Structure 1
Amino acid sequence: MSLTDLRDELTARLGRDGLVTDPAHLRTYECDALTGYRVVPALVALPRDAAEVAAAVAACAKHRVPFVARGAGTGLSGGALPVADGVVISLQRLRRVVEVDPVDRRATVEPGVTNLDISRAAAKYGLYYSPDPSSQQVCTIGGNVAENSGGAHCLKYGFTVNHILAVDVVLPDGTATRLGGDAPHQAGFDLLGAFVGTEGTLGIVTSVVVRLLHTPATVRTLVANFDSTKEAGDAVTAVIAAGIVPAAIEMMDNLAIQAVNAAVDAGFDPDTAAALIVELDGPADEVEARFADLTRLCAKATGVTIARDAEHRAKIWQGRKAAFAAVGRLSPNYFVQDGVVPRTRLGEALTRIAEMGDEAGIQVANVFHAGDGNLHPLVLYSEERGEHERAEALSTAIAELCVELGGSLSGEHGIGTDKACSMPRMFSADDLDTMRRLRAAFDPEGLCNPGKVFPTPRLCGERPGPYRPHPLEAAGVIERL
């Protein structure tokens, strides 16, 4: 392996402005949104199109240098954490909406296009892209494919995998190929389904064909307040048991509501223990009938607010989608966890999480996709008080609690670096070996996003620690770029 030779080859293929080598600039890419883990890459490639992505991957394969694809860096599991002697291949220059086809209701986009921009491009045709992660204004479709992202409306409409028709990918040896096709169902092995959600370990996406849906004719949204998270969880179970499938059911506890109210004028009750946001959409007659049933099922709510119009509804969702960032007002340091429990065990899970937080002396705010049991506990901690290790242990314990209760380690954020060591809690040795064999079929050399998803002795024995400022930085003599 020769990084010097690789640098020269990448410069020849991508141009001088297609490669980042300056040590200060390389630090821009040292982590994703899970900032507790940081590794500075050796080089960062900035390809402009699919051909240059393939050239960069082929060069890495030739010199046996590991590489990691990176989109907007909004991932929350350390999935885009670089390799110290490796290359980051950034896809931020691949930002074209190539085509919107209103007849076949599909769009072809490059991986650097943001999730929300797909819906903006399709809006003039009365269409939209339904998966909507809370970070949809900044997260990119390539990252959504890597993590199989969900969002508030995945209860009714499904995750990213349910809305992808085809992807163009560069395999780890530099070969370009297409998985999927124009028809919604392809003959043979479902390689597209196998690829989506593999966290960038099987190749790099260079183009995505997504399904588009017609904008719903009617949308009704309410916020119901409850005296406890258990009562709110019971209401979720009652709604689904009644045969109502809302577009979304989201829950926030009081701590999350405090943070949101301080950041956004969304009008949530500051005194309620828990708030449910429930949204129905579809034909007008059906929505009105179901909405009447829904309000009756919220009889135990201490108060119900119904969105007056589209502007009021947008305010409610602005508050919900701002929750992760808003929690920074309560604590500048926090872990965002992502696990799933059976919907009928929501109340039990939230009670256990509160007990675990009290035992650890750590606050936990809860804001999550209640309809499908996808929890997002936010574990707040103080670096100054030396709480990082306790908070990290609590965050891991919460993820493993989800498995104990019959759920899974991740609903949409992925395993990445963060939860790789917990994988044996959910999968047997044979399961993990089968997954590794699939990965090896795509990447026999192990160069594509190595060290992610699967537990390794290095990862689980010597986990990267949080960033510690240099004494000169703490004294104000130098600045960190």
Structure 2
Amino acid sequence: MLFNPLLNETDKQWKPIIKALETVVGKDGVIRRKEELLTYECDGLTSYRQRPALVVLPRTTEQVAATVKICHDYQIPWVARGAGTGLSGGALPVENCVLIVTARMQQILSIDLENQRVIVQPGIINNWVTQAVSGAGFYYAPDPSSQIICSIGGNVAENSGGVHCLKYGVTTNHVLGLKLVIPDGSIVDVGGSLPEMPGYDLTGLFVGSEGTLGIATEITLKILKTPEAICVLLADFMSLEAAGQSVTDIISSGIIPAGMEIMDNFCIRAVEDTVKTGCYPKDAEAILLVELDGLQVEVDANKQRVTQICRQNGAREITSANDLETRLKLWKGRKAAFAAAGNISPNYFVQDGVIPRTKLAEVLEKINKLGEEHGYKIANVFHAGDGNLHPLILYDNAIPGAWEEVEELGGEILKLCVNMGGSLSGEHGIGSDKNCYMPYMFNEIDLETMQWVRKVFNPDNLANPGKLFPTPRTCGEAANAKIEQFKGVELY
């Protein structure tokens, strides 16, 4: 039975669908009133909005599977959503879709400290995993800045990173296995409880697939033993180039910090005015945060070497912290950078490109020049160790045409990252924001090959349609214009 999408969810054709869904999750598990649906019309990329036809709130794998099966039988598109903190429009509803929200799936199903793994439902908040095991001396390494509110299911969908991804890797490096509901409603298990499983790496394929292959309903995570010693250094510089050069020199010396972050002066002042940590000198052009961990003797030696490198590159003051309270204070401003930008500008648009870290200074200079050319201020805060940039373009959406100009500027920044040998995304995903730019990084054969994979799991294109890949439905003439811009551009 093929479903004929209708705008009015009270229409006769919707009634059997609503009844079937209520049978699965209960009446309180189906949201259908228009004013309530407004809560779910966007994720963290608030410039794109679309109200879903229905929202379903399952609690178990079986309820997710039954919901997906109903959508499959009626050929209704559906979109998975976690906490809604994504920044690329990955959880943006499509017209007349069912939005499957995993926020009620918040159980820790198993903790196995001896084998260093936990099994969680997708609605578990990132930071809760560490809280559950920290008393026994363990932690979960991937730590996006939104870790106190973002969910593990969303982290899996976007392959999220965070401060510690430099040394410990992004989400895919910490997922051992998944229980999945695929788009026909079947339940399958991929991966397992061991780091390396024979056969195809379907776990790795699914992590970062942005909800286009199915929904993860149980996630087996690897947890790590808390290091013997941890030290955080904060160095301030009178030039952004000097801070970037320090990053290159630290890595070149053979030291791999747990994390390295840079904030420019604009971002420093915004953070201090908002959070008031008292740690970040407001006259500095840049600060570099370096976290070192490991054995005490290793941390002590690396601390001395990092300090020396920063001094050689012109660092004025270097603050170090070994105790937990002071370390958290040093990190507080960095974690609050996005929120701080919201306090100095009515709106901001954050991008997420990746470049080789040896080209940090050059790219940052060009980003600031692009901002000047377009007439917008840009605050830079980023994972310096792995070259994952997060430029925040500040603007006022109340000004007619501002969003279109900012979106164009964001595209120019992405093109710059790719031209410098980088990538369109490091951790925020492609979603609805960057899918039109995929032909800039990948040729037609690359994209066709990816579509083959999608069609194996999602042949009817019901799972998160219009995301990740460029399509006429989502990109229209804008896509054609952007592709024309990309032609003849040399990538290196």
Q: TM-score, normalised by structure 1?
A: 0.95
Name stretches of at least 5 consecutive residues in structure 2 with no aligned partner: 4-12, 480-492
User: Which deviations, in whole Å up to 9, do the C-alpha atoms of 1:143-189 show, x marking residues without a partner?
Assistant: 00000000001000001000011011100000001110122111111
Correspondence 1:296 to 2:311: no
2:437 to 389, 399, 422: 422
- The structural deviation recorded for 1:308 is 5.7
Paired position in structure 1 for 2:8: none
Equivalence for 1:163 = 174
The separation in 1 between residues aligned to 2:195 and 2:213, in whole angstroms, is 22
Question: Which secondary structure does the structure 1 equivalent of 2:100 belong to?
Answer: strand
Partner of 1:335: 349
| Cα pair 2:346 2:397 within 8 Å, conserved | no
1:389-429 C-alpha deviation (Å, 9 max, x unpaired):
11111111111211010000000000000000000010000
> Which residue does the alignment assign to 2:484?
none
TM-score for both structures, normalised by structure 2: 0.93
Which of 131, 136, 141 in structure 1 is aligned with 2:152?
A: 141
Q: 1:99 deviation in Å?
A: 1.4
Show the counterpart of 1:478. none
Instruction: For residue 195 of structure 2, give the secondary structure of its aligned residue in structure 1.
Output: coil
State the percentage of identical aligned residues.
52
- Displacement, 1:8? 2.0
Supply the distance in 1 between the matched residues of 2:83 and 2:324 (Cα, whole angstroms): 29
Q: Contact 2:93–2:99 (CA<8 Å) still a contact in 1?
A: yes
Q: Shift of the alpha carbon at 1:4?
A: 3.2
Aligned to 1:456: 471
Q: Which residue does 2:73 correspond to in 1?
A: 62
Q: Superposed, which structure 2 residues align to 1:105-144 within 5 Å?
A: 105-144=116-155
1:257-268 equivalent positions in 2, closer than 5 A: 257-266=268-277, 267-268=279-280
Matched to 2:473, the amino acid is R
Distance (Å, rounded) in 1 between the aligned partners of 2:478 and 2:325: 46
- What's the CA shift string for 1:163-218, capped at 9, x where partnerless? 01101110000000111012211111111111100001100010101001001110
Report how many residues are paired. 464
Q: Tell me if 1:371 matches 2:382.
A: no
Determine the C-alpha separation between the residues in 2 that align with 1:413 and 1:364.
18
CA-CA distance at 1:463 after TM superposition: 7.5
The equivalent residue for 1:203 is 214
The AA in structure 2 aligned to 1:326 is: A
Distance 1:72 1:306 in 2: 35
Partner of 1:172: 183
The AA in structure 2 aligned to 1:365 is A
Residue 462 of structure 1, CA deviation? 6.8
Counterpart CA distance in 1 for 2:348 and 2:478 is 18
The more displaced of 303-312 and 325-334 is: 303-312
For residues 101-124 of structure 1, give each alpha carbon's deviation from its aligned partner in whole angstroms, at most 9, with x where no partner exists.
110010011000000000000112
Partner of 1:98: 109
Aligned partner letter, 1:371 = G
> Residue by residue, what CA displacement relative to the aligned partner does 1:301-356 show, whole Å, maximum 9, x if unpaired?
12212126321111111111010111111112011100100011111110000000
SS at match of 1:107: strand
Unaligned runs of 5+ in 1: 465-481
Within 5 Å, which residues of 2 pair with 1:61-80?
61-80=72-91
Q: What's the secondary structure of 2:42's corresponding residue?
A: coil
Contact 1:416 1:452 in 2 (8 A): yes
For the 8 Å contact 2:133–2:139, the answer to whether it is kept is yes
Q: Which moved more, 1:407-416 or 1:376-385?
A: 376-385
Say which of 395, 412, 424 aligns to 1:397: 412
One-letter code aligned to 2:42: C
From 266, 274, 293, the equivalent of 1:255 is 266
Name 1:34's counterpart in structure 2: 45
1:445 aligns with 2:457: no
For 1:390 and 1:249, locate their aligned partners in 2 and report how far apart those are by CA, in whole Å.
32
C-alpha RMSD of the superposition:
1.2
Kindly provide the amino acid, as one letter, of the partner of residue 469 in structure 2. Answer: F
Residue 351 of structure 1 aligns with which residue? 365
SS at match of 2:216: strand
Deviation at 1:32, TM superposition (A): 0.1
- What secondary structure does 2:416 align onto? helix
Could you say which residue in structure 1 is the equivalent of 2:284? 272
Q: Please say if residues 147 and 412 of structure 1, whose CA atoms lie closer than 8 Å, have aligned partners that are also in contact.
A: yes
From 231, 235, 244, the equivalent of 1:224 is: 235
Matched, 1:317 2:331: yes
Equivalent residue of 1:298, what SS? Answer: helix
